[in-house]
A and B are shown apart, each in its own frame.
Chain A
Amino acid sequence: MREIHASVVTDAVKKLCIEANLELEPDVLRAFDRALARERSPAGRQVLEILKENAEVARTRRIPYCQDTGVVVCFVELGQDVHVVGGGLEAAINEGVRQGYREGYLRASMVRSPFDRVNTGDNTPAVIHVEVVEGATLRLMLMAKGGGCENRSKFRMLTPAEGLEGVKAWILECLRTAGPDACPPLIAGVGVGGTFEKAALLSKKALFRELGSPNPDPFLDALERELLERANRLGIGPQGYGGDTTALGIHILTYPCHITSLPVAVTIECHAHRHKEVTL
């Protein structure tokens, strides 16, 4: 049994929170360049250039890429041969969020209750999903998830008769209705199968795959490519000003499901796709 001290988790989460908000990952920057190579709209091209500049300003001047520094969504893959000592795992993650958001001058965006709406002041708590896996490592996958795009995420329970074509139409409908509100160019994380909650979880987790990388499943890879092509024919474009770049990627994860069901969840992510991970 390998021991990992809770303070090590806290320090790692703190660093991930700050770096995610100040330094966009290379996969997103490369996606901007790919989009610029094909975007025909002058307004769209200008937006993409400004987004690249924004990433540079954020990195060099240590100002968050977006003022909405997000709700922290943290997927944990906890090796079953790891023993976290010196405190609870979830408390350690939240302490990392607290320190990271205060010391990094990041915005506190969490309210303590959906009804009284009083800000917690330090962006805690994070939304944490823990999965126990084989091995002796602890993997932290962290996303600073923007609220504007999250508000456009959707779920639908399709029927098996609606099938593949129904799933395609629903994903495109989600992107179309997200439209200018969700800060396009967008990324869609899609979960198909499982149950109501399983599909939603998969749709978030799908966003952690490197943008622009192929889906390891050849069928899903072809489906993602077709949907991305069609999404970029919707015309919404960067910021909704019209153009060829409505989406930067569509990432799909699937899971077996009941004979009656065809659940599809779509998490809408904006171009401020702030994701970082570390393995302890």
Chain B
Amino acid sequence: MITLAPDGLKDVRPPLSDADVEQLKAGDRVRISGVLYTARDAAHARMRALLERGAPLPFDVRGQIIYYTGPSPARPGEVVGSIGPTTASRMDPYTPALLALGLKGTIGKGCRGPAVREALRRHKAVYFGAIGGAGAVLSRFVRALEIVAWEDLGTEAVRRLEVEGFPAIVINDCWGGDLYETGMREFAREEA
């Protein structure tokens, strides 16, 4: 569900439908509340292996959002340690297949490749950016955490997070919009 808050930010609450995703535009600032699943390199490799042999994934991706992160360990009494995004493009080889299954959002940092951008358009999905390297601040928005699969992967295990007001920005929308392109074009005064 997407709602426009009085402060101009969009509140995002998974699960998301095609119609929800269509309301999000590159550059929109959002607050995400509800459930996120974490997965990064090693978990994606295992998910691909499951898909190749027709086995079910550790969670139903339909309508959901995957957060590319590997948190640092929680101190005693804390929910989580530092939990900022990792570079999304390393997950590019795996992402189109998950989007085809109904995954509606991913959160990371950095550019996505053309195959992912095309899959976002085709399957109506969105790529959010969270602030890379702001893991201490971002930890404040995580209310609960549990390991869903592959504890042996340590920080790379699949975790289910409950977040409240997690801040992000739409980088790639389902209409072909790309915040990195437009943002850089606005301020570029030098060719490299």
A contact set with B: CB distance below 8 Å: 40-41, 43, 47, 50-51, 53-55, 57-58, 61-69, 105-109, 117, 119, 121, 146, 148, 151, 169, 172-173, 175-176, 179-183, 230-231, 233-237, 239-244, 270-272
Number of A-B contacts (CB under 8 A): 177
A236 to B42, CA, bound (A): 30
Which of B111, B137, B185, B186 sits near A54, CB closer than 8 Å?
B137
A67:B84 contact, CB within 8 angstroms: yes
- Tell me the residues in window 146-192 of chain B with beta carbons closer than 8 Å to chain A beta carbons: 153-156, 169, 179-180, 182-190, 192
User: How near does chain A come to B26, taking the closest CB pair, in angstroms?
Assistant: 11
Instruction: Among A53, A65, A172, A236, point to the contact of B135 (Cβ < 8 A).
Output: A65
- Centre residue among A58, A109, A180, A237 by max chain B CB count within 10 A: A180
* Set of chain A residues within 8 Å of B57, measured between Cβ atoms: none
A residues within 8 A CB of B86? 68, 148
**11 new A-B contacts at CB < 8 Å, known A172-B192, A242-B185:** A41-B186, A43-B169, A68-B70, A68-B135, A105-B72, A119-B153, A148-B86, A180-B110, A181-B111, A235-B185, A242-B183
Complex Cα gap A225–B154 (Å): 43
Q: Mark B108-138, 1 if CB is under 8 A from A, else 0.
A: 0111000000000000000001011111110
B58 interfacial contact with A, CB 8 Å? no
Complexed CA–CA distance, A61 and B136 (Å): 9
| CB nearest to A62 among chain B residues | B75
Q: A67-B70, A148-B87, A233-B188 are in contact. Are A57 and B183 (CB under 8 A)?
A: no
Query: Whole-angstrom distance from the CB of B139 to the nearest CB of chain A?
Result: 6
The docked-state distance in angstroms from the alpha carbon of A270 to that of B129 is 16
Interface residue tally for chain B (C-beta within 8 Å): 46
Tell me whether A65 and B89 are in contact in the complex, defined as CB-CB below 8 angstroms, given that A117-B42, A176-B192 are known contacts.
no
Q: Is B74 an interface residue (CB 8 A)?
A: yes
Partner of B180, one of A51, A146, A179: A179
Residues of B bordering A, CB below 8 Å: 42, 69-75, 78, 81-84, 86-87, 89, 109-111, 129, 131-137, 139-140, 153-156, 169, 179-180, 182-190, 192
Minimum CB–CB distance for A222 against chain B, Å: 18
Considering only CB atoms, which chain B residue lies closest to A244 in the complex?
A: B187
Q: Are A181 and B89 in contact (CB under 8 A)?
A: yes
How many angstroms between the C-alpha atoms of A244 and B133 in the bound complex?
19
The SS class assigned to the A binding surface is loop
- State the Cβ distance, B31 to closest chain A Cβ, in Å: 14
Partner of B184, one of A148, A182, A236: A236
B136 touches A64 (CB 8 A): yes
A-B contact pairs, 15 of them (CB 8 A): A53-B137, A65-B133, A67-B72, A105-B74, A106-B73, A108-B155, A148-B132, A180-B110, A181-B87, A181-B111, A233-B188, A234-B190, A237-B187, A240-B110, A241-B183
Residue of B nearest to A102 (CB): B73
The answer to whether A63 and B139 have CB atoms under 8 Å apart is yes
B192 engages A234 (CB within 8 Å): yes
User: Do residues A54 and B133 form an inter-chain contact, with CB atoms below 8 A?
Assistant: yes
With a cutoff of 8 Å between Cβ atoms, the chain A residues found around residue B189 in the complex are 233, 235
Nearest B residue to A178 by beta-carbon distance?
Answer: B110
- B111 in contact with A57 (CB, 8 Å): no
Residues of A within 8 A of B139 (CB): 63
Q: Which residue of A lies closest to B87 (CB)?
A: A148
Contact between B184 and A66, CB atoms less than 8 A apart: no
